[in-house]
């Protein structure tokens, strides 16, 4: 039953996940679907044998290649009780101005004061509790209280109401209640690309555009690499570079958000593990050693935080938040186009890490096979004081798992750090605090919007049979798909049979592409698919990029 005054994460995702799992298991086993289809010649399997569970409206499977199957599910329905409403923002302090308020929720007393102020203006507000479920590292509890006004049949009516509320001296935005995560029958579109390595002879790995800091559309990457399909992978910084640990073909291209979840793949995707990861990177010369703070990112800017060496305001992971550090060393590999310019210092290294130049400004392009190390603040002073032209620097790079063990960076190793973790050893396991999806501080707007509410999601996992699961759920589209909470995504992956699963970048970045069909889901941005920092691709043979 829907509870309009209690915005808790419900069993909606569990019901959806059960239906999706059943649907994947009851694809027709006779006729075209049972026969292997040549690569690039999809065969659709649907019809009277499709599942008829109460919440499953349709399930269609397409054989992309032997061992590679895409299943599209329409689950649930549009609930006539759902409506557009106005969320009235709260200030971050008790005496803050309502007209410039930005918080979606706050403490009960603050929400009650806002509601009283709205009543004084003739409105009839609702004060609704927002709760979070129990996570692996945080108990269930109240996240805060949100204030809403009205129920409207469509967005234009809600927008008109919001304009009136703003004129009365309040700030806010429109919401659609189906995306609150409380409706067990909310309409969802789920897309699963399943790779059975008992039949599939190719590989699954990561790729990116022409450089590590240049984004590219998934459709273009699928076409240029002749892949069978793929989905989006990591978040990207303003520069276009991926955020968090990124290892491709055994090469460390981005340092870790320390202690955050990630997925490691080897043997072309046949070996997959979800764990927490960290990196230890140092440079030594003449008996002096200094920590390298990052790889292929803007010095001083640590998006998602989780850095090392005095970052402010925290060294703990914080989703979609930028920490800063005015004293850093950052290494740029030749995978980056042109590193940032500015004050500081840098050294240019050849492929043997021998210093070919020491510069008192930043911006030199790394030579082929070589790198540069940029320094700002004390980091710049360290470079000037220790690096000399002709000297060979000793650079050590370690990638550690959650138990502190070194991960060998073999040529077939891919690691993508995104998160949070969703499933570990077959059990739902979301590290909300450790992965930084619960914000530090009093403003929990991001947590509410990104974690609790329904959103488009992309996920990766592996089941007990060793089959790889690439999953996209559309969201934030009225009449098409509501989207899932983080916990909802975890429950879905578990019910799809995943023994290990990880959340990837989502929202407007969630996209799935297959050869011959192109984009098979509906990205939530009105402009269509986003340009991505990197992706996961299903390749028809073992040849890498």
Structure tokens at 410: 């073999």
What integer pLDDT is reported at residue 47 of this predicted model?
36
Q: What's the mean pLDDT in 478-492?
A: 93
Residue 283's SS3 state is strand
pTM for the full predicted model: 0.90
Encode 223-255: b = buried (16+ Cβ within 10 Å), e = exposed. eebebbbbbbbbbbbebbbbbbbbbbbeebbbb
Q: What's the mean pLDDT in 20-24?
A: 49
C-alpha 91/C-alpha 496 separation (Å) is 41
How far is CA 283 from its chain centroid? Answer: 31
C-alpha 78/C-alpha 495 separation (Å) is 23
Predicted confidence (pLDDT) per residue in 277-310, tens digit: 999 999 999 999 999 999 999 999 999 999 998 8
pLDDT confidence tier of residue 542, bands split at 50, 70 and 90: low
C-alpha 475/C-alpha 56 separation (Å) is 17
Encode 19-54: b = buried (16+ Cβ within 10 Å), e = exposed. bbbebbebbeeeeebeeebebeebbebbeeebbeee
C-alpha 356/C-alpha 379 separation (Å) is 19
pLDDT for residue 40 is more than 50: no
pLDDT for residue 28 is more than 50: no
Predicted confidence (pLDDT) per residue in 173-204, tens digit: 999 999 998 776 789 999 999 999 999 999 99
Q: What's the mean per-residue pLDDT of the chain? A: 90
Higher-scoring residue by pLDDT: 29, 531: 531
Evaluate the CA torsion angle 419, 425, 429, 434 in order and state its sign: negative
SS (H, E, C) 489-514: HHHHHHHCCEEEEEECCCHHHCCEEE
Q: What's the mean pLDDT in 58-83?
A: 92
pLDDT for residue 216 is more than 90: yes
What integer pLDDT is reported at residue 4 of this predicted model?
34
Contact 258, 315 (CB under 8 A): yes
pLDDT confidence tier of residue 45, bands split at 50, 70 and 90: very low
Contact 208, 535 (CB under 8 A): yes
Contact 168, 161 (CB under 8 A): no
Residue 448's SS3 state is helix
Predicted confidence (pLDDT) per residue in 488-518, tens digit: 999 889 988 999 999 999 999 999 999 989 9
What integer pLDDT is reported at residue 24 of this predicted model?
54
pLDDT confidence tier of residue 128, bands split at 50, 70 and 90: very high
Structure tokens at 521: 């889901």
What integer pLDDT is reported at residue 126 of this predicted model?
98
pLDDT for residue 251 is more than 60: yes
What integer pLDDT is reported at residue 43 of this predicted model?
43
What integer pLDDT is reported at residue 9 of this predicted model?
39
Lowest mean pLDDT among 43-47, 313-317, 346-350, 380-384: 43-47
Structure tokens at 399: 């990638």
Q: Residue 329: in which H helix or E strand, if any?
A: strand 328-333
In Å, how far are 90, 97, 126 from 102, measured between CA atoms? 6, 10, 18
Lowest mean pLDDT among 14-18, 43-47, 103-107, 472-476: 43-47
What integer pLDDT is reported at residue 72 of this predicted model?
94
pLDDT for residue 31 is more than 60: no
pLDDT for residue 5 is more than 50: no
pLDDT for residue 50 is more than 80: no
What percent of the chain is predicted at pLDDT more than 90? Answer: 83
Burial class (CB in 10 A: 0-12, 13-18, 19+), 262: buried
Which residue in this structure is represented by tokens 């990104």?
A: 450
What integer pLDDT is reported at residue 97 of this predicted model?
97
What integer pLDDT is reported at residue 416 of this predicted model?
98
What integer pLDDT is reported at residue 168 of this predicted model?
98
What percent of the chain is predicted at pLDDT more than 70? Answer: 89
pLDDT confidence tier of residue 32, bands split at 50, 70 and 90: very low
Instruction: Provide the β-strand partners of residue 322.
Output: 303
């Amino acid at each position: 039953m829907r509870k309009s005054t209690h915005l808790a994460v419900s069993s909606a995702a569990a019901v959806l996940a059960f239906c999706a799992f059943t649907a994947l298991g009851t694809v027709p086993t006779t006729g075209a679907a049972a026969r292997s289809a040549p690569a690039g010649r999809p065969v659709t399997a649907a019809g009277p044998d499709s599942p008829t569970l109460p919440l499953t409206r349709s399930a269609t499977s397409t054989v992309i290649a032997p061992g590679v199957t895409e299943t599209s599910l329409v689950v649930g329905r549009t609930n006539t009780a759902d409506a557009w409403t106005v969320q009235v923002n709260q200030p971050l302090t008790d005496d803050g101005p309502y007209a410039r308020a930005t918080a979606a929720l706050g403490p009960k007393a603050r929400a009650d004061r806002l509601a009283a102020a709205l009543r004084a203006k003739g409105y009839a507000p609702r004060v609704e509790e927002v709760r979070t479920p129990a996570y692996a590292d945080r108990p269930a509890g109240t996240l805060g209280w949100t204030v809403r006004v009205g129920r409207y049949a469509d967005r234009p009516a809600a927008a008109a109401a919001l304009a009136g509320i703003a004129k009365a001296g309040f700030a806010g935005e429109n919401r659609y209640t189906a995306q609150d995560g409380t409706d067990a029958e909310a309409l969802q579109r789920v897309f699963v690309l399943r790779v059975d390595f008992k039949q599939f002879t190719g590989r699954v790995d990561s790729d990116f555009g022409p450089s590590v800091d240049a984004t590219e559309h998934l459709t273009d990457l699928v076409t240029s690499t002749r892949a069978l399909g793929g989905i989006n992978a990591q978040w990207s910084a303003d520069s276009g570079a991926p955020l968090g640990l990124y290892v491709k073909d055994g090469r460390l291209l981005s340092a870790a958000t320390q202690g955050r979840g990630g997925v490691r793949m080897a043997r072309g995707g046949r070996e997959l593990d979800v764990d927490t990861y960290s990196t230890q990177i140092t440079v030594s010369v003449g008996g002096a050693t200094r920590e390298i703070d990052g790889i292929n990112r803007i010095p001083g800017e640590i998006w998602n935080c989780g850095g090392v060496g005095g970052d402010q305001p925290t060294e703990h992971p914080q989703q979609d938040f930028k920490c800063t550090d005015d004293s850093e060393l950052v290494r740029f590999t030749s995978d980056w186009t042109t590193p940032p310019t500015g004050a500081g210092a840098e050294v240019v290294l050849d492929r043997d890490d021998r210093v070919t130049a020491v510069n008192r400004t930043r911006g030199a392009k790394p030579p082929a096979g070589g790198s540069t190390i940029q320094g700002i603040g004390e980091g710049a002073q360290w470079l000037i004081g220790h690096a000399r032209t002709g000297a060979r620097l000793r650079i050590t790079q370690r990638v550690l798992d959650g138990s502190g063990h070194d991960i060998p960076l073999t040529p077939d190793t891919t690691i993508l750090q995104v998160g949070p973790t969703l499933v570990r050893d077959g059990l739902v396991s979301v590290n909300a605090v450790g992965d930084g999806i619960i914000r530090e501080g009093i403003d929990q707007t991001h947590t509410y919007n990104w974690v609790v509410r329904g959103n488009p999601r992309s996920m990766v996992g592996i089941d007990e049979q060793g089959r790889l699961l690439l999953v996209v759920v559309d969201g934030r589209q009225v009449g098409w798909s509501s989207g899932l909470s983080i916990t909802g995504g975890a429950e879905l992956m578990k019910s799809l049979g995943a023994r290990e699963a990880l959340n990837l970048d989502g929202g407007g970045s969630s996209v799935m592409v297959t050869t011959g069909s192109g984009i098979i889901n509906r990205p939530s941005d009105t402009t269509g698919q986003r340009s991505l920092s990197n992706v996961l691709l299903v390749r028809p043979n073992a040849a890498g990029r």
